Every structure is written in structure tokens, then in C-alpha cells.
A and B are shown apart, each in its own frame.
Chain A
Amino acid sequence: MKQKKYLIDTTLRDGEQSPGLAFSMEQKVKLAVLLDGAGIYQIEAGIPAMGSYEKDTIIKIMENRKNARISTWNRMNKEDIMHSFDCHPDIIHISAPMSYVHIYSKLKKNKGWLQRNLQDCVSLAMDKGYPVTVGFEDASRADITFMISIAEMLKEMGVLYIRYADTVGVLTPSRAYQAVSEIRSHTGIAMGIHAHNDLGMAVANSLEAARAGADYIDTTLLGIGERAGNCNINQFILASEHIFDLGLSHNEACILNEKGREIIFRNKV
């Protein structure tokens, strides 16, 4: 029997960050209905902190939702999470920088600050009754022992799963396998993979992470996303459907991609 894996679609969040794309409310709602109807497990609907238009859009997506779980993406700060409360999503996702280049160089903070702030943010959302997932931003350039200690803390707090994010797309398949295996074996926490295609290896990296024990796979329609894009849902399913049960066949994913294309590029004709 094939192992069950779950697709998390981030077309409406990371996908929309493709250079040049800007979805209207109508487009996002239509895409969410399409993804929901196709049996996608979770839809990352957007970033409430972007403003009232985005919030109204996510609320509309929630109203139209049938089966898929709807999540919102948040930076690791309380204001962002409060914006998410206004949308009443099923899951609150908090993205936490993990690499030293992000913690020390970009944010000018330290690991202690990250740990405390992450605890505060996770608690804020969980105290309100929201299931929480945490993204390990720039995990592919981060210290594995540090990530393990943070993962242990999050598991104790009751976080649903952590997402290993190859934010700049520099992961290789064997490193993806090794990192996911190591975090899983030391903490037992459930994991997801979020791959970028900067070196053309998003599908392979996601596949290897899944083989190593990541149960949640981030994909986008047509592989759209920041820079060279994210893991293409259609391609991932083709590469992995012989070993995993994804709840969606390759043929169904092809149809989904084509219907998605019509909505995504409605202004690009």
C-alpha cells in the first residue's frame, strides 16, 4: 500500500509572488474553489497582514470552502497574527527565519530572540484555539542542531508540523533527505517541505524530502512562484505517484493545471 502524503497548495501565496502576477479577489476565490474541488488537502490562501483587500479575499475563500483546510501565512510577529485572526482560518502558519544569514545579518537579532519571539507568536495563536504550523525559513542554509532544538520546543508546544523551506532554492536531493531524516529522527515532529526551483530541482528535492518522512508537500499550479518558481504540482505528482498516495492522479493534476492557467492568466492574453 502506498504511503499517504498531503499536498499543500501555495499558489495563492508564494505562487502569486511570481514577478508580474497580481490576483484579484475574484481570481483567488475561483482558484481556491478549483483547488478545493480537486481534493487538495490544504490551501495557503494569502497574507492577511497585506491589508484589508487580502483579508476580505481570505474571508471569501473561507465562505466558499468545502473540504480543504485554509491556512494563512504570517511573519513571526504578533501584528501579523492578529490580522490572521480577522480571517478565521483553519490553520495559522508562522514563518520563522532559521539561517544565521537571516537571523544575524538580515534581522540583526540572535537565536535567543528568535526562540522567545517564536514561542510568543505560537502561543498567541494557539491560545486563541488555532492549530499552528511553523515554517523554517531558509532552512537549507541553517544549522541543523539549532533547527532540531527549535523543533523540539515546537513539538512540546503542540505545533501540527514544521515546514522545511528551501527559501533560496539551493537544496540538493541527498541534503533534503538527510536534513528531514535527521530532524524527524531526533524530534519525531511531523514535517513538510517547501521547495524553490532556482536550480531546477524543486521536484526532486520534494520527492526526496517525502521519502525521508516529510508528509506535507508544498506545490503550486504551473510551478509559479518567486524567482524560478516553486514545486510544480503536476510534475511532482508524475514523479511520485508510483510511491505515494497523494489523493490526486497525474491526469487530474493536468486538468487542474489547465483550468488554473485560464484563471491565473486571465489578463495576460
Chain B
Amino acid sequence: MIRITDVTLCTIDHRYAQKDLLLRLYKLLLQTGINFIEINVPILNLLGEKIEYEKTILRVEHPSDINRYTGFIRYVCRHSGYDVPAGTISEFQINDVRELNLLRNLSQYLTVRFVGLDDLLQHDYLNIFERLKHLSDTQAEFCPQNSYYCATALAVEWILNGGENIAVSFCGSGGFAALEEVMMALRIAKRHKPNLDLSVLREVKRVYEELSGINISGNKPVVGNNIFEVESGIHVDGIFKNGANYEPFEPSVVGMERKIIVGKHSGRTTIEIKLMEFGLVFPDEKVQELLRKVQDMSIDLGRSITDQEFYELACNLTKW
């Protein structure tokens, strides 16, 4: 069984966070297909009693804190020592695969989380996965970090190769594997939760941006605003016939829509589709001329042209 823990809230600076936004993000993240959400004590103090204990993991600084905050499904603690209550995830940071040799005996721990291993793909990672799984007698959780831009791939490969537990964060917040990328990759590669409506990611993105002050880039995989914009003539033609030709998944799965834009790379088909979109009856013999004007204008401006600019170009050509 795949179990995904989201650690986004632990990566947000709680000192500047608005309580209502935090609570909104907490509730939204629980709708993204994750199994558990991790918070820390300062976040708990802000969220208060509105949390869902059966889905929430509490991060504590010291095992003795566990007795002060009861009722959570699990606790996670770094440097926990051996004497921890059942249900505690003992967390180990491994920055380099060579450090694995120092972790010979973890059998006394009930559950362990391995954090780091950013450079794993530079090594025989499948073999190392097996070593990690056998270091502990019970469940091992993997929380890869992203300093080599491979965290999502490592989290996905861990699951595809028999691992069951991973920890991720929205948009890789804090330097981890990106929740939305992992969810989508597992959906495509393993049919994990294939019917889950992921349109909630739009609102997660909006609230995360407001809370963190981070502006998520337009080409961010899965949630970027521009990922379903298409301009190239070849691709527009293919997508118009069938979205699956050039898209990894339907835009509606993540609450988005495909947008055909016109510019330097447009072809005749793009222009015809765009004219149809505006309901413009346009003389067939002038389509090529319109295409040339669109391309020239796009090159002059150094960008695609807007719908308004396209409409005006088309109207000027027919002198409406």
C-alpha cells in the first residue's frame, strides 16, 4: 500500500503565516490524495483543535514531547534514540550514500524515515533501495531531498521498486520531492488513484503562493499557469486532433484548460482554429497573409501575440 505524507506545512515560516490561510492550506492538502499531513508544534498552536488527528503526524523536537501532545496518528522525531513510544517515526538524515555504512543497526526502531540521499541517482540506486528497506525490520519511509534536482524521480522510483512510504511537499517546498509531480507520475506509471480529482491543486497553488510569498513559475510541472499553452504549428495540429498526441495528461485533471496561442511558431491550422474561436468568417485566400502578419508581429514584439492583437490584425485585413 502506498502511503504519502505531505510535509509542506513544516517548511513554511509560521512566524509570518496567517492562521486562516494555514488552516485553508491544511484542509486543501488533505484533498490531494495524500495519506498523512505533517505539522510541527508551532503550526499546531496556530491551527488549534481544527486538525484531523487521524490524518496528522506531529513533528516533535524531543520524544518526551509526545506525551504532551496526545492523539496524533503518528509522531516524527529526529535523533529520537531507541526508547520511543510505538508510532514514532525516527528520522535519519543521510547526505551522502557513503553514510549508509554508518547505519548498520536500525532493527530496534519500529519505523524509520530516511531524509536526504540527494545524490542517489549517481549510484546504483536500486541496490541502495534494497539496503534501505532491509536496515529496519518494519516500514521504511523515504524523503528524498532535491539539491541535484532528482527528488521527485527518487520518490517515484522508491514506490515503483517496492517502497511503500514517501514524504513530499507541495512544489518541493523546503527542498523535497514535489507532491503534485509525484502524484501525477504515480497516476501515470502505476495508476495510483486514477480517478482522483486533482483540480484542487489550483487552489492549493493559490493559497501556497499567498502564504509563502513565492510566485510559482508558469512552466512549473503539473501546476504552472502556462503548461497547457501551445503555439507550435505542428503541436497545435496534433493536439487539435487529440490532446493525448502532445500532452501527458488532460488539462482538466488538474483544473486547467488548454490554450492555443499564436505567434512566430504558428502554422495555418493554428490561425484557422483561432479564427474559429473568435467566430470570424475569414476569406480562405487571406489566411496565409494573416499568418505572415502574426509571425512578423510576434518577432517584432519578442513574444506571442495576445487575443486582442490577433483579433485586430484579422479585422484590419478584411477591413471590418
Contacts and interface: CB of A to CB of B under 8 A. Distances in A.
B230 A19 contact: yes
B160 A267 contact: no
A3 interface: no
B248 A268 contact: no
Given A53-B299, A172-B189, A201-B156, A19 B122 contact: no
A192 interface: no
A173 interface: yes
Given A75-B234, A168-B247, A204-B150, A24 B299 contact: yes
Given A23-B302, A168-B246, A200 B235 contact: no
A22 B149 contact: no
B219 A228 contact: yes
Given A172-B185, A172-B189, A198-B227, A242 B221 contact: no
B220 A228 contact: yes
Interface stretch (A4-12, A59-67, A233-241): A233-241
A133 interface: no
Contact of B221 (A21, A198, A238): A198
B219 A172 contact: no
Contacts of B156: 172-173, 199, 201
A2 to B, nearest CB: 12
A204 B153 contact: yes
A203 interface: yes
A24 B149 contact: no
A174 B157 contact: yes
Contact of B303 (A200, A227, A240, A267): A267
Interface stretch (A31-39, A100-108, A149-157, A181-189): A100-108
Given A19-B231, A172-B153, A201-B153, A106 B238 contact: yes
Contact of A238 (B148, B152, B302): B148
Which of the listed residues A50, A169, A200 has the most CB atoms from chain B within 10 Å of its own CB?
A200
Contacts of B218: 19-20
Given A51-B295, A167-B246, A200-B221, A228 B227 contact: yes
Contacts of B231: 17, 19-20
Contacts of B224: 228
A42 interface: no
Number of chain B interface residues as a range: 35 or more
Contacts of B226: 19-20
B304 A20 contact: yes
Given A22-B301, A227-B228, A207 B189 contact: no
A205 B153 contact: yes
A53 B297 CA distance: 13
A123 B248 CA distance: 33
B225 to A, nearest CB: 10
A93 B153 CA distance: 29
A105 B122 contact: no
Interface string B126-162: 1000000000000000000000111011101100110
A223 B185 CA distance: 19
A17 B298 CA distance: 13
Contacts of B38: none
Interface of B: 119, 121-122, 126, 148-150, 152-154, 156-157, 160-161, 172, 178, 181, 184-185, 188-189, 218-222, 224, 226-232, 234-235, 238, 241-242, 244-248, 261, 263-265, 295, 298-304
28 contacts: A19-B218, A19-B219, A19-B304, A22-B263, A22-B264, A75-B234, A101-B244, A105-B242, A170-B188, A174-B157, A175-B189, A198-B227, A199-B181, A200-B172, A201-B150, A201-B152, A204-B152, A205-B153, A208-B121, A226-B235, A226-B246, A228-B227, A232-B149, A235-B148, A239-B149, A240-B122, A242-B119, A266-B302
Given A22-B301, A174-B126, 5 more contacts: A19-B304, A20-B263, A20-B303, A21-B303, A50-B265
Interface of A: 16-24, 27, 50-51, 53, 75, 101-102, 105-106, 167-170, 172-175, 197-201, 203-205, 207-208, 223-224, 226-229, 232, 235, 238-240, 242-243, 266-268
